[in-house]
């Protein structure tokens, strides 16, 4: 009888771990402006100075066996510090949904932690099989950690946190990209 109980309990552990973990990001597609498509140098320059209004399409998989696709803006991304307990390293908090999450109180925070946290595998960047290696790595370095809002530069100047690892505006050669006229699919 104890063997049956142990087998039933043991079989639930992988399922609970799959539900508790953040979704695993399988691919990131960047909506590039036309000037970033001209050459790899322009693409890498864009990746190292990504504007906050850049749209990204994430494909991820949770515990269900099918891919889910979501469009989001680069400014909504936040990195999470390393943790032995948490199974996610990326948080997405859209600006338009922050107030709704706060209105729900603790339930909103729990739901946000479950639905807005992801795992992006940054350990195997040596095996980057993308069409332009190094692009996601350059963008990853610009994503601020959760809780960082602004960075003080000096003399009272402030920039958004997503701009913290960008090159100076004098080094930018390309104009900022324009958003497409199509509405986002959600």
Q: Name the DSSP letter for residue 21.
A: S
Cβ-based burial of 182 (10 A; exposed 0-12, middle 13-18, buried ≥19): exposed
**Higher pLDDT, residue 84 or 19:** 84
Residue range(s) defining the domain that contains residue 110: 2-147
Is residue 105 in some structural domain? yes
Show the tokens assigned to 92.
């997405």
Largest Cα–Cα separation, the chain: 73
> Which residue did the predictor score with more confidence, 20 or 70?
70
Is the residue at 177 inside a domain? no
Average pLDDT over residues 79-95: 83
Within a domain: 156: no
Q: How far is CA 72 from CA 31, 57, 59, 76, in A?
A: 10, 6, 11, 7
Position 7 in a domain = yes
Mean pLDDT on 157-173: 47
Overall average pLDDT of the 146-166 stretch: 53
pLDDT of amino acid 159: 46
Q: Flag whether 152 is in a domain.
A: no
Residue 114 belongs to a domain:
yes
Residue bearing the bigger pLDDT, 169 or 151? 151
The answer on pLDDT for 128 being more than 70 is no
Residue 153 inside a domain? The answer is: no
Q: At what angle do helices 135-142 and 40-48 cross, to 10 degrees?
A: 20
**Separation between Cα atoms, residue 145 and residue 15, nearest integer Å:** 29
pLDDT of residue 168: 45
C-alpha span between 177 and 31 (Å, rounded)? 10
Flag whether 116 is in a domain.
Answer: yes
Encode pLDDT of 44-60 as tens digits: 899 999 998 999 998 98
In the predicted model, what is the mean pLDDT of residues 76-96? Answer: 84
Domain count, the chain: 1
């Amino acid at each position: 009888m104890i063997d049956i109980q142990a087998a039933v309990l043991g079989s639930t552990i992988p399922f609970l771990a799959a539900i508790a973990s953040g979704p695993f990001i399988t691919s990131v597609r960047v909506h590039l402006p036309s000037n970033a498509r001209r050459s790899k140098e322009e693409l890498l320059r864009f990746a190292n100075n990504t504007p906050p209004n850049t749209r990204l399409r994430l494909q991820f998989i949770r515990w269900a066996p099918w891919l889910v696709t979501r469009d989001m803006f680069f400014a909504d991304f936040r990195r999470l510090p390393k943790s032995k307990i948490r199974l996610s390293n990326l948080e997405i908090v859209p600006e338009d949904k922050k107030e709704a999450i706060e209105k729900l109180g603790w339930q909103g925070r729990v739901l946000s932690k479950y639905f807005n946290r992801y795992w992006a595998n940054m350990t195997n960047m040596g095996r980057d099989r993308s069409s332009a290696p190094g692009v996601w790595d350059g963008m990853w370095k610009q994503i601020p950690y959760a809780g960082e809002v602004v960075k003080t530069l000096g003399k009272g100047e402030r920039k958004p946190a997503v701009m913290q690892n960008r090159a100076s505006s004098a080094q930018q050669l390309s104009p900022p990209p324009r958003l497409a006229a199509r509405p986002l699919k959600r």
